[in-house]
Amino acid sequence: MAPTTPTGLAWGHTTDRVPYGIYTDRAIFEREIERIFEGPSWSYVALAAEVPEPGSFLTTWVGRRSVIVTRAKEGSVAVLENRCAHRGVQLCDAAFGRSNTLQCPYHQWTYALDGRLLGVPFRKGVAGKGGMPAEFNPTENGLRSLQVHERGGVIFASFADAANGLLPFADDLGPTMLEYFDRVFDGRELAVLGHMHQRIPANWKLVFENIKDPYHASVLHVFLVTFGLFRADAPSSTKMDPTGRHSVLVASRPAAPAPTDALANEVSSAKPGMTLADPRLLDPVREFPGDATVVMQTLWPNLIVQQQSNTLAMRQIVPRSAGEMDLHWTFFGYADDTSEMTERRLRQANLMGPSGLVSVDDSEVLALAQRGVEAAVDASALVAMGAGDVGDVDHIVTETAIRAFYRAYREVMGE
């Protein structure tokens, strides 16, 4: 008998089994919302460049909850739950905007951009009748304000605080993850190029794990393999923080321009003869120090930082139910990019998003993964590639980062 946990899931004796119930069970999903997304974790919410001026605001999500990211008069950023203190109305409907205050449409309760309650119509009643009780205290009825941390132009927020075990951001990431984060967010001003959004019929963890799985990239993504953007024979590594929650996949372009025959034989889908009719689609230039041309970072619980050649994007995970999630992509460059570099980034964006020449493979295959696991909740996945690997490794034929992720997941979930 395999050992089971409070939820009755069979995780097995080793770390190389993942029970399918975690992708399908509604109670587990609710516990993930409570312990992971609303627990002591830093969720990505926005780039600072998206709320550039005092009065700028946008709405986004932390876990399932809608939040408003605002920049107040003095320039500080606040992250507020998008729920009126009066009757719970999601008061801010716009995706982006500018305003000096936030007003609920239902009874016009008005809040400052830092969440303070400023006004309640007829609070003192009319002609001596009605109104709020004398003891009503506006300072106790503001919008719920989240912990906020900004680093390198990226804004994170948390419903938890230090008392609930929330670590300072730098400690949460640890030095190795921080080094890769700072590589892209090096202090230069960011320039937002635009957004893409997709609703993926798959559990959120399948999308998160996908970036912790270098094995699939060298097989599924024929486009990457064919054009040498990611190949099994290229120098690569997987690194993680001490807890295993966060990880990074690092790869360089292979020295040989085309896949070798040996590689082509192993990967049935490789297309050694394929060339581009318009090579401008892929004309990567080196822009970061070091040899790495691909750095894909997963930051617990909701962020994937994408650097593939010159296409940079934040991929934000918004869980909706056990079987469905939204993925929000924010593509960006730097304010000091040349127009030529901006054009290059916009062309390379063809690789990513819901129409991505690379990432469409993922959204499609993960929808099928969800269908497979929903029909077999008592079975489990095998993640045994590179079974001897513990921690960081210097090859891609491994599922070590997935195993590390689930070790951390079980600890947080009490599984």
Partner 1 sequence: MSGDGATGIGAIARAVDDLFWRYTQALDEGPLTEWPECFAVDATYQVMPRGNLDRGLPLATMRCDSQAMMRDRVYALESANFFAARRIRHVLGSVRIEPAAPAHDADAEADSDPDAEADSEAAARWTVRASFSVFETLSREPTHILAVGEYRGVVVPSGEHTGGREPEGQHLPAEIGALVFDELVVVNDTDLVPNSLVYPL
Q: Which residues bind partner 1 (CB under 8 A)?
A: 95-96, 192-201, 220, 222-223, 226, 269, 271, 274, 276-278, 280-281, 326, 331, 342, 346-347, 349-350, 353-355, 357, 360-361, 363-365, 367-368
Instruction: Provide DSSP, 250-315.
Output: EE---SSSS--HHHHHHSTT--TT---SSGGGS-----SSSS-SEEEEEETTTEEEEEETTEEEEE
Strands (E), 63-109: 65-71, 77-81, 96-98, 101-103
Q: Which is nearer to partner 1, 26 or 199 (CB)?
A: 199
Q: What angle do CA 51, 57, 59 make, to 5 degrees?
A: 110
C-beta of 367: minimal distance to partner 1 in Å? 6
Q: How many other C-beta atoms lie within 10 A of the C-beta of residue 411?
A: 12
Q: Which is nearer to partner 1, 137 or 339 (CB)?
A: 339
Q: Which is nearer to partner 1, 196 or 404 (CB)?
A: 196
What distance in Å separates the CA atoms of residue 225 and residue 90, rounded to the nearest whole number? Answer: 45
Q: Which is nearer to partner 1, 71 or 403 (CB)?
A: 71
Chain-centre distance of CA 298, in angstroms? 7
Q: How many other C-beta atoms lie within 10 A of the C-beta of residue 317?
A: 23
- Residue 396 forms beta bridges with which residues? none
C-beta of 49: minimal distance to partner 1 in Å? 11
Q: Which is nearer to partner 1, 62 or 196 (CB)?
A: 196
C-beta of 267: minimal distance to partner 1 in Å? 12
Measured torsion, CA atoms of residues 84, 87, 88, 90, in degrees rounded to the nearest 10 = -60
Q: Which is nearer to partner 1, 20 or 331 (CB)?
A: 331
**Contact in structure between 13 and 5 (CB atoms under 8 Å):** no
C-beta of 86: minimal distance to partner 1 in Å? 29
Closest CA to 132 of 120, 117, 145, 115: 120
> What is the identity of the amino acid at 33?
I
Q: Which is nearer to partner 1, 138 or 354 (CB)?
A: 354
Q: Which is nearer to partner 1, 34 or 364 (CB)?
A: 364
Closest CA to 60 of 157, 130, 190, 163: 157
Give one word for 75, left, alpha or beta, with left for phi > 0 and alpha for psi -120 to 50: left
- Tokens of residue 295, six digits: 């750095």
**Contact in structure between 40 and 167 (CB atoms under 8 Å):** yes
C-beta of 179: minimal distance to partner 1 in Å? 28
C-beta of 233: minimal distance to partner 1 in Å? 19
C-beta of 210: minimal distance to partner 1 in Å? 13
C-beta of 47: minimal distance to partner 1 in Å? 12
C-beta of 194: minimal distance to partner 1 in Å? 2
Q: Which is nearer to partner 1, 187 or 273 (CB)?
A: 273
C-beta of 24: minimal distance to partner 1 in Å? 18
Q: Which is nearer to partner 1, 152 or 354 (CB)?
A: 354
Unique residue bearing structure tokens 């921690």: 391
